[in-house]
Amino acid sequence: MAAAKRPNFLIIVADDLGFSDTKPYGSEIDTPVLDRLSRDGIRLTNFHTAQACSPTRSMLFSGTDNHIAGLGQMAEAAQMKKNVTGKLPDYVGKPGYEGYLNWKVAALPEILSDAGYLTIMSGKWHLGMTPDVSPSARGFKKSFGFLPGCGNHFNYEPQFDQSEDTMLLTSDGFWMENEKLIDRKKDLPKDFYSSNFFTDKLIDMLANRTEAEKQQPFFSYLAYTAPHWPMQAPEEVIEKYRGKYDEGPDKLRLDRLEQLKRLGLVPSDVEAAPPVGFESGVGWDDLTDHERAISARKMEVYAAMVDLLDQNIGKVVDLLETSGELDNTFILFMSDNGAEGSTLEAAPLLSSFKTLGELIAAYYDNSLENIVMDILPTVLQLAQVQHPGTSFRGRNVVVPRGKSWVDHLSAPPQYVSVHEDKNHIHGWELFGNRAIRKGDWKAVLLARQGGEEWELFNVEDDPAEQHDLAKSRPEILDEMLVHWATYVAETGLVEDAF
């Protein structure tokens, strides 16, 4: 098939976006572009990521588990541990814990670039902090990358008294354009705002392709740092949400839950989970007026950050529509994990692909059991590109653990099951928090929350995971722990890695 007939790809990743933070998932925040994409495409309601940023991104680009791809632990965690204990943790240097997307995997942009795709990216990388493991080193022909996990959204950096804080909280020295490190102070505009600038950079790359590049299909990756902390947005957008959150987070939580029920995204009889952050017993009514005002202001800023994401995504969609490429572009929007502070079960994903009508068909919602590492095999199948198997560019690589969605997305929702819901087994682990899931059963050990014993939940009957069945169904828990041991052995997971 001619290259022009192969689809383009636009993969958009938000940072720490919560499940119900956009209109298609019940939010009060204004996100009309994402609403439109969800109406034109497919809304996935059972999509799973890793627990945090870089592990999810490693799974996206490798098609395999983060403990295999090099992000068994976030790179920042080792320095954090050293700051507390005075020494690096034992996992440092072990396979799968390199702290960057390792060379055991063939990265998605590498594979597509070799197959004739123009590969471009703008935004957060978080898969390596040096030029030898930067976007340009892993297959992106054109890139503007912010290498760390987070940074200020404006062109400003605070001055710190403690030098060890700078790795986590400043972004100086970690910007790259193609193969070149750039200086934030000199090379970024004074009116820089992360979401606006990353979008404009991607648009510039698309709009200024050469005639030869226009003959190539493109794979584009737009990775925002919003709405990850620090909470920052332009004042005029914040003003739009003034007063909307004065009744507090618990009221907002219940309002959103009711909207999720109306949308059919959660069962009508679902039990609400307790709000994160109020475990101490200090609730909204216990706060002073000043404390409540600060909390409401934070949410106003957060809403503005999400609003701006939507506005910027709209600019890219408009460009593709104007260029006549929208109908041949597979657009996928996702969050790298759920909202800050949550222990994740699922994150939202929207996909839209107008030329493959059979993928959209008449189905708007589905309960597709899917995982972020499925994106690589799905994109490769749509692009008509084979994974290289166990050898790539002269090095040994692993075969993806993920599975393509393509053959399933045109099936009626009740028949859709990429991972054979009742039998597929999938594990997670990060920061000592562990989970293993098989069908409706999920076993969890939350070490960082003080958990010393595994808990067991039936997520079909109890999606909020409020009723621990470990003692009443010990035979199920025993089976799940056998699966956990297998997962550890298969991935090389270090169980005491935090």
**In Å, how far are 179, 205, 221, 295, 396 from 140, measured between CA atoms?**
10, 12, 9, 40, 21
| pLDDT reported for residue 378 | 93
Name the 3-class secondary structure at 144.
Answer: strand
Q: How confident is the model at residue 367 (pLDDT cuts 50, 70, 90)?
A: very low
- Among residues 380, 384, 385, the alpha carbon closest in space to that of 402 is found at 380
| pLDDT reported for residue 495 | 78
| pLDDT reported for residue 258 | 92
Q: How confident is the model at residue 362 (pLDDT cuts 50, 70, 90)?
A: very low
Residues 6+ apart with CB under 8 A from 253: 272, 275
For residues 316-325, give the mean pLDDT. Answer: 97
| pLDDT reported for residue 364 | 29
Strand-pair partners of 124: 146
Q: Left if phi > 0, otherwise alpha if psi is -120 to 50, otherwise beta: which for 191?
A: alpha
Q: Is the pLDDT of residue 402 over 60?
A: yes
For residue 193, give the DSSP letter: B
What does the alpha-carbon distance between residue 289 and residue 472 come to, in Å, rounded to a whole number? 45
Lowest mean pLDDT among 45-59, 268-282, 429-443, 447-461: 268-282
| pLDDT reported for residue 348 | 45
What does the alpha-carbon distance between residue 95 and residue 379 come to, in Å, rounded to a whole number? 27
Question: What confidence tens digit (pLDDT) does each residue in 234-250 have?
Answer: 999 999 999 999 999 88
| pLDDT reported for residue 368 | 38
For residues 387-411, give the mean pLDDT. Answer: 89
What does the alpha-carbon distance between residue 157 and residue 171 come to, in Å, rounded to a whole number? 8
Strand-pair partners of 42: 351
Residues 6+ apart with CB under 8 A from 76: 148, 149, 167, 168
Q: Is the pLDDT of residue 287 over 50?
A: yes
For residues 351-374, give the mean pLDDT. Answer: 45
Question: What confidence tens digit (pLDDT) does each residue in 248-260 have?
Answer: 988 998 999 999 8
Helices (H), 141-229: 166-169, 184-187, 194-207, 211-214
Place of tokens 């939010």: 27
- Among residues 73, 17, 12, the alpha carbon closest in space to that of 340 is found at 17
Q: Is the pLDDT of residue 427 over 90?
A: no
| pLDDT reported for residue 143 | 98
Q: Is the pLDDT of residue 126 over 60?
A: yes
Contacts for 464-467: CB closer than 8 Å, 24+ residues apart:
464/270, 464/271, 464/272, 464/273, 465/273, 465/345, 466/271, 466/273
Lowest mean pLDDT among 28-32, 163-167, 355-359, 464-468: 355-359
Lowest mean pLDDT among 335-344, 354-363, 466-475: 354-363
Helices 289-323 and 194-207: angle between axes, nearest 10 degrees = 10
Sequence ranges of the domains in the chain:
3-419, 425-498
Q: How many CB atoms lie within 10 A of CB 192?
A: 16
For residues 287-295, give the mean pLDDT. Answer: 94
Domain 3-419: give its CATH architecture.
3-Layer(aba) Sandwich (3.40)
For residues 86-109, give the mean pLDDT. Answer: 90
What does the alpha-carbon distance between residue 25 and residue 276 come to, in Å, rounded to a whole number? 19
Residues 6+ apart with CB under 8 A from 426: 48, 371, 419, 436, 437
What does the alpha-carbon distance between residue 414 and residue 274 come to, in Å, rounded to a whole number? 31
Q: Left if phi > 0, otherwise alpha if psi is -120 to 50, otherwise beta: which for 298?
A: alpha
Query: Is the omega angle on the peptide bond into residue 348 within 30 degrees of 0, that is, cis?
Result: no
CATH number of 425-498: 3.30.1120.10
| pLDDT reported for residue 360 | 31
Q: Is the pLDDT of residue 352 over 70?
A: no
For residue 77, give the DSSP letter: H
Question: What confidence tens digit (pLDDT) does each residue in 130-157 have?
Answer: 999 999 999 999 999 999 888 899 987 6
Q: What is the pTM of this model?
A: 0.86
For residues 182-198, give the mean pLDDT. Answer: 93
What does the alpha-carbon distance between residue 376 and residue 263 come to, in Å, rounded to a whole number? 30
Helices (H), 94-138: 108-114
- Look over the chain and give the mean of its residue pLDDT values, rounded to a whole number: 84
What does the alpha-carbon distance between residue 263 and residue 26 come to, in Å, rounded to a whole number? 7
Total residues belonging to the chain: 498
For residues 227-231, give the mean pLDDT. Answer: 90
Name the residue with higher pLDDT: 269 or 362: 269
Token pair, residue 37, equals 């994409």
Range ranked top by mean pLDDT from 18-32, 331-345, 412-426? 18-32
